[in-house]
Amino acid sequence: MLRSTVVVASAAALLGALLAPAHADSRTPTVRVPEAVGFGGVVSSVDPDASRVGVDVLRRGGNAVDAAVAVAAALGVTDPFSAGVGGGGFFVHYDARRQEVSTLDGRETAPAAAGADLFLQDSQPIPFAEAVTSGLSVGVPGTPRTWQRALDQWGTLSLDQALKPAEELARRGFTVDATFHRQVAENAERFADITSSRALFLPPPAIGSTFRNPDLADTYRQLRRDGVAAFYRGPIGRDVVATVNHPPKDPAATRTVRPGRLTAADLGDYRVPRREPSHARYRDLDVYGMAPPSSGGTTVGEALNILETTKLANESPTQYLHRFLEASRLSFADRNRWVGDPAFTDVPERELLSQEFADSRACLISPTRALTGPVSPGDPRDPKPCATTGEEAVTPYEGTDTTHLTVADRWGNVVAYTVTIEQEGGSGIVVPGRGFLLNNELTDFSFTPVAPGVPDPNLPGPGKRPRSSMAPTIVLRHGEPVVALGSPGGATIITTVLQVLTQRLDRGLPLLDAVAAPRASQRNSATTQAEDPFLGTPEAAALRVLGHRFAATAEIGAVTAVERLPDGRWRAVAEPTRRGGGAARVVWPG
């Protein structure tokens, strides 16, 4: 977007001294606060250091995009097992002046040498864990180029300015918390087999100690000095290619660590397309999300459309949850069958989000009994009431350790940005001398077709982007922001966002209560994953009577969200306890 010389000069004058050393704010205690309300803008992320970086950007005159990039870079330091320059993500932006939502697709891509047999050996899929910890699982990272494109499109800072706080945070270090320690400990066995990962993370740093990452600080410095060309066409990229194709495995380790098929051309050819957001009209609201190759926007949107004809506010708690779970089940059946990379698959996005199709699915929901899953998909191009077509397509496993940040600024601009390296610790492979982990995003592809004889839009292919469940979401009413949110959690991201939205918008729960409420996740399977606190509720017992079956899980998702209040203030909300609790920050409390 063209910006006038006057605007650029004004921004430069205002921000020339922006982002003085991050430790200038070090008097602020590093605490996790789940809610913050006030003026001047807000930031919500999983980490207090990262949220503080973002608020500092806003306080010094930066906008929501500037802050979002700075927070994401800081999360690459403090939450490296979920985020970083070795991964990708989806960036959703609301422009307050234009009242327009836009998205950037920073999803990782498969190398040109990747075929449908990427994860097969002798026509059989290799073990999933073996695929994860390998060069085969590494897609071309999209995060650095996403940062640059976002700043070019809507920011006021340079990449140099935006990355400065994260570089300083990596160099001076941060205090290790219980979550960071646990994440290292849970990955210690495979980190020990990769010499570069062992050198950076082992032994697991003690809780309360200071963790420094000078190699990552140097990587950020090189990106600041030379731009993203250093990654996609320069020395950082050469190190990435060498690491993927020759993983630094300890010769004494017995683990099978397969080499990848990445080339310098794969990196150089990577692009971050600007895509039209997914859009669903729900009640009097416009719900915008990420279009394919993410399935988040279409699946959340379809589920909301299925629920459209039910006044959830008037339903009993049991009936509300029953309908939420059934809408999730049906929309996942359709997601698994129809959604993939639109560059390779004819995704019927408009039809999936049509009310006519949603109504043809909603009539399958009975108030007195649950569907038995997995159920078959519908045909969005030829919707018929209560009709299904073909074999059911089950939901493949996706890693849960992504992270999400949500930002709003004083002008009313909003960013919902989900960043990932896929599983906790990604591929487990640190690029030697660079201080960051590489993703394992290509394991989001189906290793084999999801059902015999059923077309699978998510098989690997050269230059293809694997289907994602990331669902950064912005909700507007009459063009003005109401709420923005997102979550990590693999395929549970979709159900988490849907549950929080319906609890806030339909059931009237305060945003913090909607985020903190016990969760359940139905993804077109015979059983519904549910957190232990959910399983202990009277509603869970009543749902069992309706035929729902549950499987316990420790946690589902880790939401960050912001909402605009009627008086012009912003509220930021983060998890009170999940993943150790998040960090909501506001520029001017009040």
Each residue's pLDDT expressed in tens, for the chain with a length of 590 residues: 333 333 333 333 333 444 443 333 333 446 899 999 999 999 999 999 999 999 999 999 999 999 999 999 999 999 999 999 999 999 999 999 999 999 999 999 999 999 999 999 999 999 999 999 999 999 999 999 999 999 999 999 999 999 999 999 999 999 999 999 999 999 999 999 999 999 999 999 999 999 999 999 999 999 999 999 999 999 999 999 999 999 999 999 999 999 999 999 999 999 999 999 999 999 999 999 999 999 999 999 999 999 999 999 999 999 999 999 999 999 999 999 999 999 999 999 999 999 999 999 999 999 999 998 799 999 999 999 988 776 666 666 665 578 999 999 999 999 999 999 999 999 999 999 999 999 999 999 999 886 677 788 999 999 999 999 999 999 999 999 999 999 999 999 999 999 999 999 999 999 999 999 999 999 999 999 999 999 999 999 999 999 999 999 999 999 999 999 999 999 999 999 999 999 999 999 98
Which H or E run contains 516? helix 511-516
Burial category of 88 from C-beta neighbours within 10 Å (exposed 0-12, middle 13-18, buried 19 and up): buried
Cis preceding-peptide flag for 29 (omega within 30 of 0): no
- 402 catalytic, yes or no? yes
User: In angstroms, rounded to a whole number, what is the distance separating the alpha carbons of residues 139 and 340?
Assistant: 16
Identify the residue whose tokens are 């403090």.
78
Which H or E run contains 43? strand 35-45
Of 374, 514, 549, nearest to 450 by C-alpha is 374
> DSSP assignment, residue 141?
P
> DSSP assignment, residue 370?
P
> DSSP assignment, residue 444?
G
CA separation (Å) from 385 to 261, 299, 359, 381, 462? 46, 19, 7, 13, 38
Q: Which two tokens stand for residue 232?
A: 């996609």
Question: Bridge partners of 14?
Answer: none
Provide the pairing of β-strand 520-521 with 414-420.
Answer: unpaired
User: In angstroms, rounded to a whole number, what is the distance separating the alpha carbons of residues 148 and 55?
Assistant: 20
Q: What residues contact 27, with CB distance under 8 A and at least 6 apart?
A: none
pLDDT computed for residue 372 by the predictor? 87
pLDDT computed for residue 31 by the predictor? 80
Name the class of domain 280-398+492-556.
mainly alpha
How many beta carbons lie within 10 A of that of residue 239, not counting itself? 16
Could you say which of 78, 310, 318, 402 is catalytic? 402
Q: Which two tokens stand for residue 31?
A: 């605490």
